[in-house]
Amino acid sequence: MLGDITACENIYIACGYTDMRKSIDGLAAVVQEQFHLDPFSNTLFLFCGRHRNKMKALLWEGDGFILLYKRLENGSFKWPRNETEAKPITWQQFRWLMEGLQIEQKQSIQPAKKGDFC
For 66-85, give the DSSP string: EEEEEE-SSS------S-SS
Residue 117: what pLDDT?
64
Q: What is the per-residue pLDDT for 39?
A: 96
The pLDDT value recorded for residue 78 is 86
Residue 18: strand, helix, or coil = coil
Give the pLDDT of residue 38: 96
Q: In this predicted structure, what is the pLDDT of residue 95?
A: 92
pTM: 0.83
Q: Given its phi and psi angles, is residue 3 left (phi above 0), alpha (psi -120 to 50 degrees) or beta?
A: left
Give the pLDDT score at 1.
58
pLDDT tens-place values along the chain, 118 residues long: 576 788 889 999 999 899 999 999 999 999 999 999 999 999 999 999 899 999 999 999 989 999 999 998 998 888 887 777 789 999 999 998 888 888 887 766 667 778 766 5
Phi, psi of 14, rounded to the nearest 5 degrees: -85, 105
Residue 56 has what pLDDT? 96
Residue 2's identity, in one-letter code, is L
CA atoms within 13 A on the CB side of 6: 1
- With a CB cutoff of 8 Å and minimum separation 6, the contacts of 23 are 67
Q: How many angstroms from the chain centroid is the CA of residue 105? A: 16
